[in-house]
């Protein structure tokens, strides 16, 4: 199985310079001592590293993937501005009190947040599809949570309300790498979005005055009773 995965990704066209673009882009906004990286040294598919940025000027820290954009996503021809959507990376704003071990193992406290981004960043390339604003992804097909530390089972890609396009669009040599916010969702929120669409979910986010910064204890956008009543409509 691992050999099949290795062979599949070995034949892909890689854009390795995008990793350098991301690094140079971050250097414009943050001090070197504020940036560290959880490197993926060995992978049978392709490597996704995670930046851990601890900016002094903000009340939050940032997790940002680097490696998703090393491969071109399979954006359908009918999608408007297709060329501008072929490369992307994912980020999460997280509270300052969330800490990590020095080395990512996937088993330490809060590692599920890093795993969440890595899993989502690899999804479009494993499935020969693409991800953009409004797209949702689940941890697994059975709506299981990412770990026993959280009840989130998936997430939706959102435009950042904290950073403007100067930060969220890396433009180099006629190419754009989009930085999307990954916003984790509960099971009934995912199902609501699938049934009612992205606009309906986005309206709930606005009405709830939901913050972009990750909150593992946030209120569910759709109380269960309300959700089941909606399904009966």
152: left (phi over 0), alpha (psi -120 to 50) or beta: beta
pLDDT of residue 227: 52
pLDDT in tens, 93-111: 999 999 999 999 988 999 9
Where are the domains positioned within the chain? 2-137+155-184
pLDDT of residue 232: 47
Pick out the chain residues at pLDDT < 50. 1, 232-233
pLDDT of residue 1: 47
Report d(CA 162, CA 174) in Å as an integer. Answer: 25
Share of the chain above pLDDT 90, in %: 87
pLDDT of residue 226: 52
Report d(CA 89, CA 100) in Å as an integer. Answer: 21
Report d(CA 13, CA 43) in Å as an integer. Answer: 16
Please state at what angle helix 187-196 crosses helix 224-232, rounded to 10 degrees: 30
Report d(CA 184, CA 155) in Å as an integer. Answer: 4
CB 119 within 8 A of CB 139: yes
pLDDT of residue 9: 86
């Amino acid at each position: 199985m691992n050999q099949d995965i290795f062979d599949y990704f070995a034949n892909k066209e890689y854009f390795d310079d995008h990793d350098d673009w991301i690094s140079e882009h971050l250097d414009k906004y943050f001090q070197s001592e504020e940036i560290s990286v959880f490197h993926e040294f060995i992978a049978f598919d392709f490597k996704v590293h995670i930046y851990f940025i601890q900016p002094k000027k903000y009340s939050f820290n940032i997790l940002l993937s680097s490696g998703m954009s090393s491969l071109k996503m399979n954006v359908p021809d009918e999608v408007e501005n297709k060329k501008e959507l072929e490369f992307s990376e994912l980020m999460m704003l997280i509270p300052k009190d969330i800490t990590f071990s020095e080395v990512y193992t996937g088993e330490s406290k809060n590692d599920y947040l890093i795993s969440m981004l890595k899993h989502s960043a690899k999804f479009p390339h494993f499935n020969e599809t693409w991800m953009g604003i409004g797209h949702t992804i689940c941890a697994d097909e059975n709506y299981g949570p990412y770990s026993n530390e959280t009840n989130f089972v998936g997430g939706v890609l959102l435009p950042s309300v904290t950073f403007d396009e100067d930060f969220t669009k890396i433009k180099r040599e006629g190419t754009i790498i989009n930085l999307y916010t990954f916003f984790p969702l509960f099971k009934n929120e995912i199902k609501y979005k699938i049934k009612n669409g992205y606009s309906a979910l986005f309206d709930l986010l606005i009405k709830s005055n939901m913050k972009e910064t990750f909150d593992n204890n946030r209120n569910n956008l759709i109380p269960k009773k309300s959700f089941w009543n909606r399904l009966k409509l």
